[in-house]
Chains A and B, each alone.
Chain A
Amino acid sequence: MNPHLDSETICKWAAGERTAEAERHVRECAGCAEAVALFERGLAEFRGGAHDWSRRLLPPRPAGAWQVETAVAGRRRAIFGVAGIAACVTAAALLLAVPVERGRQRAAAARAAEQARADQLLLERVNAAVSRSTPASMEPLWKLVSTTGENQ
């Protein structure tokens, strides 16, 4: 028969590392089988005690801390949702308003340019009239005088 299991081998056994040799020895040796069983029983009782203790002290789960957060987040989403829709509508209105305003400005500019051209023509006519050496009302007389002088 193999030598008895030492403490380290029993620890390895409890950790789940069991060699074929150790398993064979435990089957054949009542003393080692008892030592292994005693150690494993101690660990099992420890587990049982921990579970019992925890069951006894287990408080009720605080209800829905995340439900509160979910509700807050939902409300926040709703608020930001409304604000978001308002922002989108504003942005769309601005986007639509820009070309309309540009068209309006362009038309106004065209009107102003037309007015400027008309003013310019009027100014030129006035200027021409003012710049004449003989006023328009004196023109026939002037022509007559000029013709008479040439004939002489």
Chain B
Amino acid sequence: MPAVSDMKDAGTPAAAVAGVLDDFDSVADAWWPVIFRYALSSLRDPDAAATLAQDCLMRAWHNRHAFRGDASLRTWLMQIAVNLVRDYGRNRRLQFWRNLRSMPSSVEAAAESLAGRDLSPEARAAIQQQVEAVWAVTATLAERQRTVFLLRFVEEMDVAEIAAATGMAEGTVKVHLFRALRAVRGRMERRQ
């Protein structure tokens, strides 16, 4: 049987994928960091992200018998996470926007990670600026654009997977992705 974390291939037999949900602890161990990361990059609030990731796994566990393996395990879990993030944003609109605008430790973390690399101060500053620009822009994107952008550039999902996880048509995903990238690039160019 393939490892739980490898359940991403369309070729994995549905029964094998569905059967792996019987050992839900393994599923949770494998996907907890991924769901938390998506929730964190979306909400920028570690506590809310942890709660949401736990909620996501609970929902997956409750609905595990409905999972037939038509989509990959990752797509299925991310679909739940995307819905939870969207609901969180709608229910706690004010707090959500405050978190997004605060540009929190994500940028500091990126700076620390850059500091450990063998880069010239200029290169480091340029990269730092770019990363800041991307974080800043994602806070201003429309909800769907931000979702698509984060799934593509943080979670490295392809267009088909994003379409399955968000329930959008592939063409719509491409449009949102392009608009998000245009906004990011515009911000980067202004900073240069």
Contacts and interface: CB of A to CB of B under 8 A. Distances in A.
Contacts of A67: 25
Contacts of A46: 110, 130-131, 134-135, 153-154
A interface: dominant SS:
helix
B185 A10 contact: yes
Interface string A28-46: 0000000000110111011
B46 A49 contact: no
B127 A45 contact: yes
B182 A59 contact: no
- Most B C-beta atoms less than 10 A away, residue of A11, A49, A61, A65: A49
The residue in A17, A54, A65 that gathers the most chain B C-beta atoms within 10 A of its C-beta is A54
B40 A61 contact: no
A76 B114 CA distance: 53
Contact of A41 (B40, B50, B130, B135): B130
Nearest to B38: A54
A107 to B, nearest CB: 54
Interface stretch (B6-14, B67-75, B93-101, B173-181): B173-181
Interface residues of B, number: 47
Interface string B115-141: 000000000000100110111000000
B153 A49 contact: no
Contacts of B106: 49-50, 53
Given A39-B188, A42-B130, A46-B153, A51 B182 contact: no
A47 B133 CA distance: 13
A50 B36 contact: no
Given A42-B188, A54-B37, A47 B154 contact: yes
B87 interface: no
Interface of A: 7-8, 10-12, 14-17, 38-39, 41-43, 45-59, 61-62, 64-67, 69
A58 B57 CA distance: 15
A77 B61 CA distance: 18
Interface of B: 24-25, 28-29, 32-33, 36-37, 40-41, 46, 49-50, 54, 57-58, 61, 105-107, 109-110, 112-114, 127, 130-131, 133-135, 152-154, 156, 158-159, 174, 177-178, 181-182, 184-186, 188-189
A56 B46 CA distance: 10
Contact of A11 (B133, B135, B158, B178): B178
Contacts of B29: 61
A66 B27 CA distance: 12
Given A11-B178, A54-B40, A45 B33 contact: no
24 contacts: A11-B181, A11-B185, A15-B174, A17-B178, A42-B127, A42-B134, A43-B153, A45-B130, A47-B153, A47-B154, A47-B156, A48-B113, A49-B107, A50-B41, A51-B37, A52-B109, A53-B41, A53-B109, A55-B33, A56-B109, A57-B105, A59-B50, A64-B25, A66-B24
